[in-house]
Chains A and B, each alone.
Chain A
Amino acid sequence: MSATVIGIIGIVVLLVVFFLGMPVGFTMALVGLVGFCYMVNPQAGLALLARDIWAQFSSYSLTVIPMFVFMGSIAFNSGMSQRLYDAGYSLFGRLRGGLAMTTVAACAGFAAICGSTNASAAAMGRIALPEMRRYHYDNALATGCVAASGSLGILIPPSVIFIVYGLLTEQSIGRLFIAGVFPGIMLAALFIGVIYLICRRHPDFGPAGGPTTWKQKLTGITGVIEVLILFCFVIGGLFLGWFSPTQAGAAGAAGTLVIGLARRKLSWKGFLSAVKDTLQITCMVLVIVAGALIFGHFIAITKIPMALAAWAGGLPIPAAAVMGLIVFIYLVGGCFIDALALIMLTIPIFFPVAMALGFDPIWFGVIIVLVTQMGVITPPVGVNVYVVSGVARDVPLETIFKGAMPFLVAIIIAVAILIAFPQIATFLPSLTMY
Chain B
Amino acid sequence: MSFHSPGTLKAIWIRKLNISKLERFEKFTTKFSNWLNWVAGVAVVAMLGLTVVDIVGAKFFNWPVPGAVEITGFLSVVLISFAIAYTQVLHGHVRVEFFTMRASQRAQGIIGVIIWLLSFALFALLAWQSYKFGRVLQISGEVSPTEEIPFYPFVYGIAFACIPVCLALVVEFLKSLSMAVKK
- Residues on A close to B: CB < 8 A? 17-26, 29-30, 33, 46-47, 49-51, 53-54, 57-60, 62-63, 66-67, 70, 242-243, 246-247, 250-251, 253-254, 272, 275-276, 278-280, 282-284, 286-288, 336-338, 340-341, 380-381
Contact = CB atoms under 8 A, between A and B. Distances in A.
Interface in B68-107: 69-70, 72-77, 79-81, 83-84, 86-88, 90, 92-100
B79 A282 contact: yes
B130 interface: yes
Contacts of B44: 66, 70, 275, 278-279, 282
B99 A21 contact: yes
Contact of A25 (B83, B94, B112, B154): B94
Query: For B40, B83, B118, B121, which residue has the most chain A Cβ atoms within 10 angstroms?
Result: B83
A25 B99 contact: no
Interface string B1-31: 0000000000000000000000000000000
Secondary structure at chain A's binding surface: helix, strand, loop or mixed?
helix
Given A21-B97, A53-B130, 11 more contacts: A19-B100, A21-B95, A21-B99, A23-B88, A23-B119, A26-B93, A51-B133, A54-B77, A247-B55, A254-B52, A381-B96
Nearest to A335: B98
B125 interface: yes
Contact of B125 (A46, A242, A243): A46
A50 B132 contact: yes
A30 B122 contact: yes
B42 to A, nearest CB: 9
Nearest to B116: A22
A107 to B, nearest CB: 23
Interface residues of B, number: 55
Contacts of B153: none
Nearest to A337: B96
B94 A63 contact: no
B47 interface: yes
B55 to A, nearest CB: 5
A17 B133 contact: no
A25 B96 CA distance: 11
A54 B118 contact: no
B115 interface: yes
B115 A17 contact: yes
A58 B77 contact: yes
Contacts of B129: 46-47, 49-50
Given A29-B122, A33-B125, A50 B41 contact: no
A26 B87 CA distance: 13
Nearest to A284: B92
B122 A62 contact: no
B155 interface: yes
Contacts of B90: 280
A19 B99 contact: yes
10 contacts: A19-B100, A24-B93, A49-B126, A53-B158, A58-B73, A66-B47, A279-B79, A280-B90, A338-B96, A381-B98
Interface string B43-57: 011011001101100
B87 A54 contact: no
